[in-house]
Amino acid sequence: MTILVAILLFGAIVFIHELGHFLLAKKNGVTIHEFSIGMGPKIFSIKRDVEYSIRLLPLGGFVSMEGEDGESKDKNAFGKKSIIQRASILFAGPFFNIVFAVILFIPVFMYIGTPGTTLSQIVPNSPAQVAGLQEGDKIESVSGEKVNSWQDVVTNLTNSEGKEVKLVIDRDGKDQELNIVPEKNEEGRYVIGIAPKYEKSITKAIATAFTTTGDMIVQMVKFVGQLITGTVPGGVSNSVTGPIGVISLVSDAAKTGIINVVYIGAIISLNLGILNLLPIPALDGGRLLMILIEALRGGKKIDPNKEATLHIIGFGALMLFMLFVTYKDILRLF
């Protein structure tokens, strides 16, 4: 049952991605041949103006557009559309995944609550306890910087780099000032030994969903940079996972409750969106790069057949990498 949940979740995320491409292609009048979820042999299909299909392997999906790879005489072919139209169609898939991640995060934070600036716990023998912080204190500013969220508190403490900070707190309706020297924890962040009180609010859940998505995008971009430079802690092969690994993660989450499945789903959707924007041939980012080059050349198109060949090579390289990652996933499972 947990594996079925994982496959359905992965299929939903792929569906959202392809739906973005599909809707923008429709809006811009592109001839579409097929909207498919999954790869490999068809197990179900229905023909309307477009063929809608489900394929055997839940490893991805695609929207087959006339003239996307190679030349076409169809006036409604993808390649006949303007630079802006083509770019919007390609960008829509990753964008839908990012939006979907925000939507999934909202019920997660509505359920667990969002961390505020009121303290629920003081770690014994921590800088916070030594300085006199108490449960129920509300942090109003850190070193003169007004804080409106727990993330503001964390950011200001991190930026202190271990130097003394001045906290203004509200205790029983009265402002007090405390001087505290943060200490570095095992993760390399500067902390003072406090935990926030979680508040359940739909408006705060929405705001936290957006900020969490933004923070994760920054972390993903940093991770991609580490992948490129080969500086990923633990090595590249141990830091990435394929469909089998993803299904395993979701299956584990499904055993602990639906809210964990939704949370993992948001992260997977965000990963799919960001990774698809990388300028690698065959990915949406690679195709967007070709359009950017075309724009810089004053609208002079790259030979469609040469571009198609480049994307085929890129797709082959991605499949080889996927096989390698899947092999590592299997080794980890056993």
Q: Could you tell me whether strands 32-47 and 183-184 are parallel, antiparallel, or unpaired per DSSP bridges?
A: unpaired
Q: For residue 229, count CB atoms less than 10 angstroms from its CB and return exposed for 0-12, middle for 13-18, buried for 19 or more.
A: exposed
pLDDT band at 299 (very low <50, low <70, confident <90, very high): confident
Same domain, 281 and 298: yes
C-alpha count within 13 angstroms, C-beta hemisphere, residue 203: 1
Question: Which of these ranges, 95-99, 189-193, 310-314, 316-320, has the smallest mean pLDDT?
Answer: 316-320
Mean pLDDT of 127-154: 91
**pTM: predicted TM-score of the whole model, two decimal places:** 0.80
Q: Is residue 209 part of a domain?
A: no
Q: Is residue 62 part of a domain?
A: yes
Same domain, 251 and 300: yes
Element (H, E) at 306: helix 304-333
* Two tokens, residue 39: 């790869």
Same domain, 52 and 151: no
Q: Which residue has the higher pLDDT, 308 or 235?
A: 308
Give helix 83-112 / helix 258-275 axis angle, nearest 10°. Answer: 160
| pLDDT tens figures, 77-114 | 998 999 999 999 999 999 999 999 999 999 999 999 98
Look up tokens 């991190």; give the residue: 158
pLDDT band at 307 (very low <50, low <70, confident <90, very high): confident
Q: What is the mean pLDDT of the chain?
A: 87
Residue 197 has pLDDT above 80, yes or no: yes
| Residues β-bridged to residue 32 | 65
- Find out whether 104 and 189 touch, Cβ atoms under 8 Å: no
Q: What is the pLDDT of residue 329?
A: 64
| pLDDT tens figures, 241-284 | 666 666 677 777 777 788 988 999 999 999 999 989 999 888 99
Q: Is residue 229 part of a domain?
A: no
Same domain, 247 and 99: yes
Same domain, 106 and 118: no
* Two tokens, residue 82: 């303007």
CATH number, domain at 164?
Answer: 2.30.42.10
Q: What is the pLDDT of residue 303?
A: 79
Residue 334 has pLDDT above 80, yes or no: no
Phi, psi of 49 (to 5 degrees): -70, -20
Same domain, 107 and 240: yes
The residue segments making up the domain with residue 250 are: 2-111+234-333
Q: Report how far apart the first and last C-alpha atoms of the chain are (Å, whole number).
A: 20
Which of 199, 223, 250 marks a domain boundary? 199
**CA 268-274-277 angle, 5° bins:** 140
Which of 155, 177, 199 marks a domain boundary? 199
Same domain, 143 and 188: yes
Q: Is residue 205 part of a domain?
A: no
Same domain, 106 and 166: no
Q: Is residue 219 part of a domain?
A: no
| Residues β-bridged to residue 183 | 191
Q: Go through the chain and tell me how many residues it has.
A: 334
Same domain, 106 and 127: no
Helices and strands per DSSP (H, E), number in the chain: 9, 10
Which of 148, 181, 199 marks a domain boundary? 199
* Two tokens, residue 113: 């609550």
Q: Is residue 17 part of a domain?
A: yes
| pLDDT tens figures, 5-25 | 878 888 899 999 999 999 999
- Residues marked as catalytic: 18
- Quote the DSSP letter at residue 108: H
Q: Is residue 223 part of a domain?
A: no
Same domain, 24 and 94: yes
| pLDDT tens figures, 38-67 | 888 999 999 988 999 999 887 789 999 998
Same domain, 104 and 118: no
Q: What is the pLDDT of residue 137?
A: 93
Q: Which residue has the higher pLDDT, 333 or 239?
A: 333
**7-21 CB burial, b ≥16 within 10 A, e <16:** bebbbbbbbbbbbbb
Q: Is residue 208 part of a domain?
A: no
Same domain, 51 and 77: yes
Q: How far apart are CA 171 and CA 149, in angstroms?
A: 17
What percent of the chain shows pLDDT beyond 70? Answer: 91
pLDDT band at 325 (very low <50, low <70, confident <90, very high): low
| pLDDT tens figures, 204-234 | 899 999 989 998 998 888 887 877 776 666 5
Mean pLDDT of 71-78: 89
| Number of independent structural domains in the chain | 2
Question: Which of these ranges, 134-143, 144-153, 252-261, has the smallest mean pLDDT?
Answer: 252-261
Q: What is the pLDDT of residue 51?
A: 95
| Residues β-bridged to residue 36 | 53, 62
